[in-house]
Structure 1
Amino acid sequence: MRQTPLVLTALTVCFLSAGVGTAHADALDDVTKSKTLRIATDLAIPPSGMMDASMKPVGSDVETAQLLAKDWGMKLDFVQTTGATRIPNLQTGKADVAISTLSVTPERAQVIDFSRPYAVLESVIAGRKDVAVKSIDELKGHTVCVTRGTTQDLELTKMSRDKGFQIARYDDDATDVTAAVSGQCELIATSLTLVNQVTLKAPDHPFEKKVTLHVFDLAIGVKKGESRLLAKLNEWIDTNIKNGKLNAIYKKYHHSELPPQMR
């Protein structure tokens, strides 16, 4: 009986020690302490992210990231990324958030968390006017160029065998666009915004929308389980949707407004 208090004391110490061991600072604590926000953004996907003549980042995602850092009173640290590395950068802690034309899909939602939408993206298959394709079924025998790891890559990979078409993959959007401009690709699956970039660079061989795949919500990505950071991001998005700042950024670069239901 004399050992009971000692046993209870020992158990209590172990319990408290376990509690201390599991306590940890979350992502919001980390960025607040460092006063630096590391944002993964693809700077090779105009007009969302690109470098200007002075080699400074510009674009709709760039300005969105800059507005976020400014509103939070933090230094902005761009983590350059590609379509394939956006999610790994979050999972490995290289970036705190991703603002990089990251469309919301069920598959991605299993591995990262998404904020509320801040913009939209129309995903299409486009091609030269002389390419007679008006539906997925008419892709048979053709090759479609995609950027590796994008929603277009994932979606078309699932249906390519049954529909009888091939896929050519490129590591980033800039290379994908260059392939289309140079004539290596007769069809490209990407955002409508990038299709317009192809036409601007090759006006003699313009690309046009053939098939609309989806209209995706674009959201800010965060590592799974960072609920406090996610809540603060959602609050910020709500504020800047209501005051029109996010719509103004989108309109400046994409030449159209956000959907009425968002505004």
Structure 2
Amino acid sequence: MMKRSLSAAAIAMSCMVALGTTAAHADLLDDIMKAKKIRIATDLAIPPSGMMDANLKPTGSDVETAQLLAKDLGLELEFVQTTGATRIPNIQTNKADIIISTLSVTPERAKVIDFTKAYAALQSVVGCLKTVEAKGWDDLKGKTIAVSRGTTQDTELTNMKDRNLTLARFDDDATMVTAAVSGQADCVATSATIVNQIGVKNPARTFEPKVLIRTFDLAIGVRKGEPRLVEKLNEWISTNLKNGKLNEIYKKFHGSELPQEMRS
């Protein structure tokens, strides 16, 4: 009786191992290639990284990066509209396969998602009206700083409790920029590129970067536990940094080249 019980247990264990092995091979990269489509979460309201052109078609540096990726992999591309706060939940809930949307690499985010190697860079700053005198953090005390909810700028400034900063949170970059353009905010915390875009929308309210928060690597976000997909994306990024295509896209929309160390 004991031998029969052990034998049955051994068979059950073997079946479990076999099922586990099968499950391990069924991953997101396989699903994407089988579907012949990749769903990419991209914010289309943060020019020049993501926006709509005059014909209401997506454009921008992140948009063209996503389009190049899909083309190189031979896949149909589906954009999943997102905001700064919903980028990570989109892949966690399987609404999107990956994130290409000015997603900077931080230790906090690395706890809940995986990152590829960097494909671009982002200079995170506090920008204010040109007429505002602000050369350091002390000069920002007493000034209201507009920030998009859930972004790295929101997290960074919230954690600077000793600097006594006053923040006004907006749901996305588009509404934050509108606040700056319309005069609701004289300072914003965002990328240097977006700061420079404010004056284009309203020449009477030209903003400029005042205080550097940090320079971040931008990477593709992938849900935890998909090493084959991360490896595939890393190979693609390395190839397109080396051949200059990612630098061309960045320069086209941001007016400057990627850092030399990234391109070499």
What corresponds to 1:222 in structure 2? Answer: 222
Runs (4+) of structure 1 exceeding 4 A deviation are none
What corresponds to 2:73 in structure 1? Answer: 72
TM-superposed CA distance for 1:9, in Å, is 2.9
Whether 1:187 and 2:195 are equivalent positions in the alignment is: no
What corresponds to 1:15 in structure 2? Answer: 13
RMSD: 1.1
Deviations 1:73-115 (A, max 9, x none): 0110111100000111111111111000000111111111100
**2:49 alignment partner, SS class:** coil
What corresponds to 2:155 in structure 1? Answer: 154
Whether 1:240 and 2:245 are equivalent positions in the alignment is: no
Whether 1:106 and 2:107 are equivalent positions in the alignment is: yes
Code of the residue aligned with 2:7 in structure 1: it is T
- Take 1:208 and 1:177, find their aligned partners in 2: how far apart are those partners? 13
What corresponds to 1:38 in structure 2? Answer: 39
**1:104 alignment partner, SS class:** coil
- Take 1:185 and 1:147, find their aligned partners in 2: how far apart are those partners? 13
What is the TM-score when the length of structure 2 is the normalising length?
Answer: 0.96
**2:250 alignment partner, SS class:** helix
TM-superposed CA distance for 1:202, in Å, is 1.3
TM-superposed CA distance for 1:53, in Å, is 1.2
Code of the residue aligned with 1:126 in structure 2: it is G
- Take 1:154 and 1:167, find their aligned partners in 2: how far apart are those partners? 11
Code of the residue aligned with 2:250 in structure 1: it is Y
TM-superposed CA distance for 1:21, in Å, is 4.0
**2:135 alignment partner, SS class:** coil
TM-superposed CA distance for 1:7, in Å, is 2.5
- Take 1:168 and 1:213, find their aligned partners in 2: how far apart are those partners? 17
Aligned 1:108-127 pairs, distance under 5 A: 108-127=109-128
TM-superposed CA distance for 1:20, in Å, is 4.1
Code of the residue aligned with 2:117 in structure 1: it is R
Code of the residue aligned with 2:81 in structure 1: it is Q
- Take 2:139 and 2:67, find their aligned partners in 1: how far apart are those partners? 43
Code of the residue aligned with 2:226 in structure 1: it is E
TM-superposed CA distance for 1:16, in Å, is 2.5
Whether 1:171 and 2:168 are equivalent positions in the alignment is: no
- Take 1:257 and 1:64, find their aligned partners in 2: how far apart are those partners? 15
What is the TM-score when the length of structure 1 is the normalising length?
Answer: 0.96
**1:261 alignment partner, SS class:** helix
What corresponds to 1:250 in structure 2? Answer: 250
- Take 1:238 and 1:146, find their aligned partners in 2: how far apart are those partners? 32
Deviations 1:16-69 (A, max 9, x none): 232244342111111011111010000000010001111110000000000000
- Take 1:168 and 1:3, find their aligned partners in 2: how far apart are those partners? 70
- Take 2:235 and 2:165, find their aligned partners in 1: how far apart are those partners? 44
Code of the residue aligned with 2:89 in structure 1: it is P
Question: Greater CA deviation, 8-17 or 40-49?
Answer: 8-17
Aligned residue pair count:
260
Deviations 1:117-168 (A, max 9, x none): 0000000001012212111122111110000000000010111x42222100
Code of the residue aligned with 2:155 in structure 1: it is L
**2:260 alignment partner, SS class:** coil
Identical aligned residues as a percent = 63
What corresponds to 2:196 in structure 1? Answer: 196
- Take 2:176 and 2:17, find their aligned partners in 1: how far apart are those partners? 50
Is the Cα contact below 8 Å between 2:120 and 2:219 reproduced in 1? yes
* Unaligned ranges ≥5, structure 1: none
Is the Cα contact below 8 Å between 2:121 and 2:258 reproduced in 1? yes
Is the Cα contact below 8 Å between 2:157 and 2:165 reproduced in 1? no
TM-superposed CA distance for 1:243, in Å, is 0.6
